Each structure stands twice: as C-alpha cells, then as structure tokens.
Structure 1
Amino acid sequence: MKLPAVQYADGIKQGKQDQFKGLNHNLGAKDGELWDMRNLTSDYFPLLASRPRRMLFKTLTAPGGLFCWDKLCWVDGTTFYYNGESKGTVTAGPKTFTALGAYIVIFPDKAYYNTAADEFGSLEAAWSGTSLTFTNGKIYDEDADANCIQAEGVNWADTFKAGDAVTISGCTKHPSNNKTPIIREIDGDKLYFYEYTFDLDGDDGITPYTETGDMKVERTVPDLLFVCENENRLWGCDRTTIYASKLGDIFNWNVYDGLATDSYSVDTGSAGSFTACISYMGYPIFFKEDHIYKVYGSIPTNFEVMGSATLGVADGSAASLAVAGEVLFYLSRAGIMAYSGGIPQPVGAAFGVEKFRDAAAGSDGLKYYVSMRDRAGTWHLYVYDTQRGLWHIEDETHATHFASSGGNLYLLAEDGGIWIAGSVQDPPEEAAAEEAVSWMAEFADWYDDSPNKKGISKILVRLEVDEGAEARLYIQYDSGGTWEQVGHTLEANAKRSYYLPVIPRRADHYRLKLEGTGGCRIYGLTREYYDGSQLKSMPGRQ
C-alpha cells in the first residue's frame, strides 16, 4: 500500500527588521520598535546609527547664557563676551537675550551691546539731585511757557537724548509735575518739553520755581521676564502685562505721543502669569500655561491682542521655544507641542506616560533639540526629526541655552561647556571633538505575532562600524532583567553580516539590545525562531 509523502519542514521562521524608527516608550510598542536608547540619530534613517561626535568649543567657569546675532556671544560669571572678547559687566546668573539691528539686549540686567559702535551700556538712564528748577524755555526756536526743567551745571546730553520719555519724581510743592513727559530738545543744563507740560508758580502758572529734596529724572524700562524682537520693535512681558518699545528704539518703553512710532502696553486681564514669548510668522506671541496670545496690527492704534484657551508653554520652560521645519515647538504641561499658528498639536506620544519640566531647546533648522528633566529629576537631551516624525535620545546633557552660528548648533551645558551638536560644519579652529561616543539601542518586546511560546536560535546582523569602534548584542527573556550577550563583540571596518547563534530557550517574549562605542550603522536585523506550545514555563522546564 502506498502512503502519501509527508512534507518535511523544520518550523524555523524568519523575522526581518530593516527599518529602524525612533523612540516608542509605550507598553504597546510593536515588535522591533525602540523602547529606550542612548546617543542615536536619525541622520541615516532607515538605518539604526550612533550620533556624530560633538565638538567642545569653549568651557565657561560660571555660565550665564549663550546667544548669537551676527557673532556668538555669552556670559561667563559677570562678564559679557562678544566673539570671544570681553565687552561689559553684568550681574551673575542666567540671562535672556534678544537683538534689534546692531543692538544685543540682555535681561534682566537691561543692558545692551552695540555691535557696530562697540559700545556696552544700560538701557536705562537716570539723574538724581537735590534741586530741580521748573521754568519757561523754548521749543523749535520759539519762546514757550512752563516747558523746561533746569539743573545748574548738568549736561543733560550726557544722560538723555531728544525723544526720550523721562519720569520726573520727588516733586512736593507741585506733585502734578511727577509725570513722564517726552524730551523735545536739550540745551546744556535745560530739558525742553511741549509748552505747559508743567505747573509753575503764580496766578498765571508761569512763574519759575525750584523743587528741592530727593529729585530724580529717569528713563526706565519695564522689568521684563521674557523678550523678543518683531517688526523693528522689542516686545516683552512681565507676569501680567505685554509691552512694546518705541519703533526702532530699544531705550524707550513709555513714549505715548499719538504717533505710529509710540510704545505700547496692555494687560490681558486673564488669570495666570505669562510664561514665555517669541516672534513667529511675523507676530509677537505670548504664552501662559493655558493660553496663547497673538498680537495683530502694525501700529499702536490698531494693535489687537487675540487669545485662545489652549495649551501654552509650561512655567519654567520659556527656553523650550524653537522653530524647526518652520513649525514652533515647546514644552507644555501635557508634553511637547507643535504650533503652526492655529491649535497646537502634541508630538510627544513616543514618551509614553513620562512627564517633563524645565526644558530648553534649539534647532538646526530641521531638527528640534530639547533638554529637559523627567519626574525623577534626570536630565535628557532629546532630538525630534521634523522630516520623519521621529524622536531620538542622545544623552543626559543638561543644556540651558542654544544658539545657531555659522550653520552649526551650539548648546551651553549647565557645567559650562559650549558644544557644537549635530552635523558639524566648518567648526572653529579651537573646537575639539569629544571621545568616541558610547551608544545603546534597546528594542521593545518581540512577540513575533504569536501568543505561543517561541524560541530564538540565530540572529543575523548586518552592520558597519568605524575603525576602532565595536558593537555587542544582548538578549533578555520574559522581562527577567538579565541581559545575556549573544555571540562575540562585533568589529569591522566594512559593511558585513554576522550570524550569531543563540542557545534555544522557550519564552513568551524576548527583548534585544545593541550597544557599543564609536560610529556604527546597522542595516538590518534578522531573527530565526520557531513557535512553541501554549504551555507556560515551569521550574526545570523551558
């Protein structure tokens, strides 16, 4: 009797991974997605690759801030440096920078550096004395009444200029003269204003008199927490109020002359404090934790603040604002958001349930770099690739400031190091590359689309490592916490494949981890495995 032939099969299956996406730190991550990583990059997507080495540009002893306008500048201790040269003295502590024209502005010091005139100074100016005479004067070569203040022997031009709005205080005989008028002309020790600006003595109100006591004449700037430049004005805010400087004038914030060049201020009236501001798509935009305000208009008379109740910048994360791929990113209370002028959209699903705070960020144009700390207080530097929608983790760098200069992205680390991150182009001569980078890629659990037990017998890795670099593969079964190295350490200067045998062991799921030192590109990862039964593992039985 002839029996039918039995088809032979060894039951071995293959699972191939030749596209490596970014981070997915969620319990529902699929086979082969990356649960955790260190010092990886999307530069070679779809390959899995270690990031390029950073370059150390300079180390500060007491870092206060980093900024770039036409040249790189920073604060070290109490000294402001521009293009590596000391230019002025500031207070110690973290700084906020912005710029308008040739001026770099430093807050909270209210200081400036004029890059064209090589001049460092204060935005504010003040005179104080014990005697100030209110008298009649001139304006535009014509006699004028009650429009002049005089301080004998003072050269007002050393302190103020025509067009400045100055606050006069200390008047007791005529308290109505405590006001903020605008200087129209300066003549030696005399400041001229519009006619009848002041109240003088006499029945006709034009008899000169002198105020004595603690007299002050000041040009002041609001105590701004956040600042930016937009359409030839500086914009800023304190906790409750939005301010704009006089057009093209960083020194004057109190000029209300009824002109298109006037200063501007408004209180939104909503609950909560402002947490950040930035210029984006031609508009100054202000943030609270639960509101976004956009200022429309071109002159003070038609400025209009429009607000929307949506997730804004988290308190303490004003520095997380950065534009990458023409989209504005920032950290909110709910995670990283992407804002294009409408309703912000979350882009932090890859982080799972983790929450972050105290973020600072920068951009190389297409990638968003953000340094922030998790609930445990550990700092991480994350990179979001806007072209591919992928997140990667670099390391535990705590960056406080970012700045772009000469096509490179610089970051200031909390320990004082100024590093060039990402793909470095034409670095400064004094910059030195860091040591070989240690990297790691931990994949999420593999179930191989089967509810049964399965056993893995071989792993094929196709990779390319730089000279002197190395890579190792590890496996972990059923979330046991113990990593076992598979095969030997991988070293090769050319792209090639390795077959790594695995001692078969049944498990519900398993996890793979690659780690190494130095440059490495992984092209593919193939697993050979077989299905087992539905039986649970028992002591002594695998």
Structure 2
Amino acid sequence: MKMPMLDQPKRRAETVSVFGGYDARDRRGTEGFSEVENLSSSAYPALSPRSRRGKVDTALGDGDTVAAISVGERLCYVHGSCFIADDNPTYSGGGETHTRIVDLGLQGTPDTRIVMMGSYAVIFPDRKYVSLSDMTDNGSIDAEKTSSSATICPCPLGEPDAVIIISAASPEASCDYWLDTSGGTDILRFRSGGEWQEVQAAGVRITVGGSIPFSEGDGVSITASDALCGGLLPDSAVIASVGTGSVVIPGSIDKHAEKAAVKLSRKMPKCDIVFECGNRLWGCRSGTDEGGRQVNCIYASALGDFRNWNVFEGLSTDSYALTVGSSGEFTGAAAYMGYPHFFTENAIHKVYGEYPSLYSLRSLTCPGVQKDCSDSVAAAGGILYYKSRRGIYAYDGSLPTFVGDALGTDVYDCAVGGALGEKYYVSMRGSNGRYSLFVYDSRKRLWHREDNTAVRQFASIEGELYYTERNNKAVIRSVGGSGITDSEPVRWYAVSGAISGSMGEHEYLSRLILRIAADQGASVGISVRYDSRGEWQELGTVGADEPRSITLPILPRRCDHLHLRLSGRGYARITMLTMISERGSIY
C-alpha cells in the first residue's frame, strides 16, 4: 500500500549577531534597544554589560563633601578649606597614606573648580594656587598692599634697595644716590669723581613698608591720594624690581611725595569659566566685572604665569583681553586642537595666533553649548562633544554635527560630560527630573545608557575617569573600577525593538534561539511581551557555575509582534539571536 508523501513544513532561519545600542526611536528587532541599563559597547557586536566601577579611598566621612576634582597626572580634590593631592588613587587600602593635604582657606562651594597648569593646581572661584611638587608653594592669585605713609621718589630700575637721601643740599653722609630738591623739579643724582651727576635712566620707587606680596614682572593697579601725589603715579604698571618694603616701576617723576596713601593690587579679572591652553590660563566673562561695568570679554594670563592678567608691554609673553562684540553670553569654553574655544548658545568663537599681537577671533554661527551645560564640553577620540539646546553635538574644528538622534525627543539639561579614551560620558537631567548617564562610543557610533547617576564633575586622569555625584558628595568614584572595586556584580537589562511574529503568507515566528557567553556566577533572565500590551511574561533564567556558552531556545506564541527583555546579573555576552519562522495554516 502506497502512503501519501507529506511535505515537510518549510522553515526559514534569520540570525542576528550584531546588536545595536540605546535608541529611543522606534526600531525593529535588535537594531536598537529602547530601554537599557548598564550596557556597554566594549564587546560590540555582542550585547554586554559595563564593567564594575570603583571608589577612591578618600578617608572622608559620610557627612564630608568633595567640592571639586581635577584633570591632570594625579587626582586632586577640595574638601572644605583643604586641598588634597592623591598620588595613588588606585590604592585599595591596607598600606601607608597616599594623600597630601594643605589648608588653603578655601570656601569648598559646589561651584569650585580645579584647573591644572604645569605643576600647579589653581582653584576657582577662590583664586588660590598650590604647587603639587612642593605644597608649601601656595598662595592667592590676587594680592594687595596698602600704606597710608608711602614714600614716592625716583630710583634706578634695578636697585630697589638703593640708599637715597632726599634734601635740597648735597648730603655729607655716604649714600648711593641723592634726590636734589633744590630746584623746581626733583633730580636724582649719583656721585662720580667727587661730583654729583644726574641719573639719566631712572624709575619710580614706591616705599610702602612691610612684606611685599609681589614679584618682578607683576602687573599691578595703583591707587594714590591725589592731594599728595598730584598724578605722579600711573593707574597701572609692571613692577621692574622688588626691594625691602618697596617696589620700583618704570617711569619718571619730577617731584617726590612722602606720607602718601597708596594701594598696589594685582587682580585677576572676574571669569565665569577658566581653562588652560598654550601655557596660559584663559577665561571669559559675560556680565559685570570687578568694577561693576558690563562686559563680554575673553581674557588670557601672561605666558606661563597664571597670577598676572594685566601685563601689557607689547611682548609675546603679555597677558591678553578682548571684548567680543557679538551678542550672547558665554555658556562654555575649552582648549581644543591647541586653540582656545569659547561657546555661546548660538556660536563658537575660536582664538587663532601664537601670541597676543597675532591673536585674532573667528566666530562661527552654529549650535553652541546650552546654558548651564558648560561642564558638558569634553574631547573623546579627538572630537569635542557638548550639549546644545537640541542635544549632543560633535565638533571636529569645522562644523559641529548632531549625534544625539538616538536619545530621542526628550529635553535634557544640567549636562556634565567627561571622556575616557574614545567614549564620551554625559550625565543629564530629563524632563521628568530624573538623571541618566549616557555613553557615546565615538568609534562605533553607538549610544548606551548606564544608570541614573547624577554626576557633578568628571575628571580624566591617567587612563581612568573619576567623578563625583550630586547626591553623594563624600564619594569619588571611578568608571573603570580603579581604587576599591565594587563587590556587587552589575545588574543590567535591555528591551529589544519590535520583533515581528507574523511574516505574512501564513508564516509565523516559531522559535527564538539565544546564544549567551556567561562568566562564572552570572545569570541571564528572559521575558517577553506580546503585541505591546499586557505584563512581561518571564520565560526563565539561566546561570553559569563556570564560564561557558549557553544556548537558550524560546517558544513564543502566535502574535503580531513581540518584545524581548533581557536582564542579568554579572558579566554575560549575548552573541547571537536566531529567529526561526514556519509556514502554517490560515487558522
């Protein structure tokens, strides 16, 4: 008897081995994951969690506050009034101390920032500095000396301690110089061959007494009593030499003054943002300056000297100041490709040139840094990233490019950015008031969302990215696990895009097969939701007692489409997803 031949059900298999990152837009399958937590692109094209983070052993109590951390060769931070240098932030306990502490009388406010310049750390808004090679070398950028009984007289530029006798008759006593007041004008003379000769090149000595907080080359502002000085002194000058209780400035005067009220001051202009570029500190200010005048200015310190911002002698080492005529307050600033860049919300200003007389400002009208997002500016993989009003932009020195499409349409603010290798980290607050820490891989062009960490400051130091949190102010944490590594495994999850359950022509999704590579102690759970409604249905959890690969079959019910939710604890890689479809009846 002949039996009829039955056709074997036709099957079709589609395998996916490339898994995308976070994508808030409507995506299909594994092109992007609409909901993710603690995932990373490190194992791309596989889907994998981030590494465990670490905690720096600061020895601070729970009630203490870390006000700022720095970028440089070593981890530095501010705690209360103290500045702390951590020479070994990877230290995990059990050994000798690795921190050096100096009390600088700092305010320790949340807006404190540390800017590194050479071996010095400069702390703002306190305007204090400290040398990391010798922490006894510390002080204030601003300095002031006041006297109500100052003496002002001519003096040779290089001899601030010269003995000068002021009289109408030639002195009998031995002295270096004689200020002859017998005529209508005072003349400085020196003895030569028994005769008093006029000194042709002289400066002006201002004797104020006591210790002098200035150095040779400092640019100072001068305020003097008009009644006694009668306009003898300029409003500002560069100190030529410093003596015992006195300074000498270039210039000449024809009358001397005694018991005059004089104030000498060295001040840094008021700046909103400060950074280092080309061995200078650069800053910008939109608003009122120290004198109450409305300004929109860019400033630079003298070359190699962060203390001096008012030295203008026509030299290549001079400080620099420029008023920007275009509208818009400064919202960000950074050094990029060796040039200072300043941002408004609608423009990028770039300073070209090697020294002040060659400096020129070129402006580009384009999306700039959003207000209150100045800390979002960071360079990763050679590209400068920042948060604009629209979202995240990438700037390579030409035109900025929008790279934030995958973050969706939610409106973010209060962005803080940092960089580790080719990855750009940015913590932002969403419209619902919750923070999210996103990571953009500049080489793979993938976004991932890690968690709800609200970062206050980032600092990249020797291949590690450190950060402080807004709601956990006593802790400095590391992205890569330096210091005391977290003991708890990372918990993670990802929700796939819609996977079609019906392929048309009576074809339906009959089976899903996941390929998982799990480390020892890791576990992975799988849940499914059909047709975008109802509760998640847990399909099972698999674990690994030892490092191994796991093949997990999933048998979905018939539906129009489904979403998968993959969750886990510990390190595991989703390496492959195979979707098997079959032809069935019309019923």
TM over 0.5, shorter chain = yes
Q: Does 1:305 align with 2:361?
A: yes
Task: Tell me the CA shift for residue 501 of structure 1.
Answer: 4.2
Corresponding residue of 1:336 = 392
Q: Does 1:10 align with 2:27?
A: no
Corresponding residue of 1:418 = 476
* Structure 2 residues without counterparts, runs of 5 or longer: 87-98, 160-198, 287-295
Q: Does 1:237 align with 2:289?
A: no
3-state SS of 2:499 partner:
coil
C-alpha distance after superposition, 1:16-74 (max 9, x if no partner): 22111111110245555211211111111111111111111136521211113221101
Q: Against the structure 1 CA distance between its residues 255 and 469, is the aligned structure 2 distance closer, same or farther, given a 3 Å change threshold?
A: same
8 Å Cα contact 1:283-1:294 kept in structure 2: yes
1:183-222 mapped onto 2 (5 Å cutoff) = 183-196=239-252, 205-212=254-261, 215-222=262-269
3-state SS of 1:515 partner:
strand
C-alpha distance after superposition, 1:441-489 (max 9, x if no partner): 1101122684789754432111122222211101011111410011344
The one-letter amino acid of 1:437's match is: V
8 Å Cα contact 1:317-1:359 kept in structure 2: yes
The one-letter amino acid of 2:495's match is: E
Equivalent of 1:516, from 568, 580, 587? 568
Corresponding residue of 1:91 = 107
C-alpha distance after superposition, 1:113-164 (max 9, x if no partner): 112232221111111233333322222355766722222x3232xx111111
Percent of paired sites with the same residue: 32
Q: Does 1:436 align with 2:486?
A: no
Equivalent of 2:155, from 120, 132, 137? 137
The one-letter amino acid of 2:515's match is: R
The one-letter amino acid of 1:206's match is: K
Aligned length in residues: 515
Corresponding residue of 1:161 = 215
For 2:27 and 2:490, locate their aligned partners in 1 and report how far apart those are by CA, in whole Å.
Answer: 30
Q: Against the structure 1 CA distance between its residues 211 and 504, is the aligned structure 2 distance closer, same or farther, given a 3 Å change threshold?
A: same
The one-letter amino acid of 2:238's match is: I
Equivalent of 1:393, from 449, 459, 462? 449
Corresponding residue of 2:511 = 458
For 2:549 and 2:467, locate their aligned partners in 1 and report how far apart those are by CA, in whole Å.
Answer: 36
Equivalent of 1:148, from 175, 193, 205? 205
The one-letter amino acid of 2:563's match is: R
C-alpha distance after superposition, 1:344-402 (max 9, x if no partner): 00111111112221111221221111111111121111111112111111111112222
For 1:454 and 1:238, locate their aligned partners in 2 and report how far apart those are by CA, in whole Å.
Answer: 66
8 Å Cα contact 1:320-1:360 kept in structure 2: yes
For 1:336 and 1:419, locate their aligned partners in 2 and report how far apart those are by CA, in whole Å.
Answer: 24
Task: Tell me the CA shift for residue 406 of structure 1.
Answer: 3.3
3-state SS of 2:57 partner:
strand
Task: Tell me the CA shift for residue 254 of structure 1.
Answer: 0.3
The range that moved more, 496-505 or 354-363, is 496-505
Corresponding residue of 1:539 = none
* Structure 1 residues without counterparts, runs of 5 or longer: 199-204, 536-542
8 Å Cα contact 1:451-1:534 kept in structure 2: no
The one-letter amino acid of 2:283's match is: G
For 1:180 and 1:343, locate their aligned partners in 2 and report how far apart those are by CA, in whole Å.
Answer: 41
Corresponding residue of 1:76 = 79
Corresponding residue of 1:202 = none
C-alpha distance after superposition, 1:235-266 (max 9, x if no partner): 11112210011111111000011111111000
For 2:6 and 2:583, locate their aligned partners in 1 and report how far apart those are by CA, in whole Å.
Answer: 18
8 Å Cα contact 2:502-2:508 kept in structure 1: no
Corresponding residue of 1:225 = 272
8 Å Cα contact 2:70-2:116 kept in structure 1: no
The range that moved more, 162-171 or 388-397, is 162-171
The one-letter amino acid of 1:403's match is: A
8 Å Cα contact 2:71-2:116 kept in structure 1: no
1:230-309 mapped onto 2 (5 Å cutoff) = 230-239=277-286, 240-309=296-365
For 1:227 and 1:170, locate their aligned partners in 2 and report how far apart those are by CA, in whole Å.
Answer: 31
3-state SS of 2:237 partner:
coil
8 Å Cα contact 1:31-1:448 kept in structure 2: no
Equivalent of 2:134, from 94, 105, 117? 117
C-alpha distance after superposition, 1:261-300 (max 9, x if no partner): 1110001111111112111111111111111011111121
Corresponding residue of 2:190 = none
The one-letter amino acid of 1:382's match is: F
For 1:446 and 1:36, locate their aligned partners in 2 and report how far apart those are by CA, in whole Å.
Answer: 15
Q: Against the structure 1 CA distance between its residues 466 and 175, is the aligned structure 2 distance closer, same or farther, given a 3 Å change threshold?
A: farther
Task: Tell me the CA shift for residue 99 of structure 1.
Answer: 1.9
Corresponding residue of 2:56 = 57
Q: Does 1:21 align with 2:24?
A: no
The one-letter amino acid of 2:130's match is: Y
8 Å Cα contact 1:464-1:493 kept in structure 2: no
The one-letter amino acid of 2:108's match is: A
The one-letter amino acid of 1:18's match is: S
3-state SS of 2:122 partner:
strand
Q: Against the structure 1 CA distance between its residues 481 and 303, is the aligned structure 2 distance closer, same or farther, given a 3 Å change threshold?
A: farther
The range that moved more, 80-89 or 258-267, is 80-89
Q: Against the structure 1 CA distance between its residues 126 and 460, is the aligned structure 2 distance closer, same or farther, given a 3 Å change threshold?
A: same
The one-letter amino acid of 1:528's match is: I
Task: Tell me the CA shift for residue 78 of structure 1.
Answer: 2.6
Corresponding residue of 2:96 = none
Q: Does 1:66 align with 2:69?
A: yes
For 1:405 and 1:300, locate their aligned partners in 2 and report how far apart those are by CA, in whole Å.
Answer: 31
Corresponding residue of 2:94 = none
Equivalent of 2:540, from 487, 503, 516? 487
The one-letter amino acid of 1:85's match is: R
The range that moved more, 523-532 or 179-188, is 523-532
8 Å Cα contact 1:263-1:300 kept in structure 2: yes
8 Å Cα contact 2:501-2:508 kept in structure 1: no
Root-mean-square deviation over aligned CA pairs: 2.6
Q: Which one has the largest radius of gyration?
A: 2
Q: Against the structure 1 CA distance between its residues 448 and 349, is the aligned structure 2 distance closer, same or farther, given a 3 Å change threshold?
A: farther
Task: Tell me the CA shift for residue 170 of structure 1.
Answer: 5.1
8 Å Cα contact 1:465-1:519 kept in structure 2: yes
For 2:397 and 2:586, locate their aligned partners in 1 and report how far apart those are by CA, in whole Å.
Answer: 53
3-state SS of 1:360 partner:
strand
8 Å Cα contact 2:503-2:509 kept in structure 1: no
Corresponding residue of 2:37 = 38
Q: Against the structure 1 CA distance between its residues 404 and 267, is the aligned structure 2 distance closer, same or farther, given a 3 Å change threshold?
A: same
3-state SS of 2:399 partner:
coil
8 Å Cα contact 2:502-2:561 kept in structure 1: no
Corresponding residue of 1:505 = 558
8 Å Cα contact 2:157-2:203 kept in structure 1: no
Corresponding residue of 1:324 = 380
3-state SS of 2:238 partner:
coil
8 Å Cα contact 1:64-1:76 kept in structure 2: yes
Q: How high is the TM-score relative to the length of structure 2? A: 0.82
For 2:27 and 2:519, locate their aligned partners in 1 and report how far apart those are by CA, in whole Å.
Answer: 34
Q: Against the structure 1 CA distance between its residues 244 and 116, is the aligned structure 2 distance closer, same or farther, given a 3 Å change threshold?
A: same
Q: Does 1:368 align with 2:371?
A: no
For 2:307 and 2:118, locate their aligned partners in 1 and report how far apart those are by CA, in whole Å.
Answer: 13
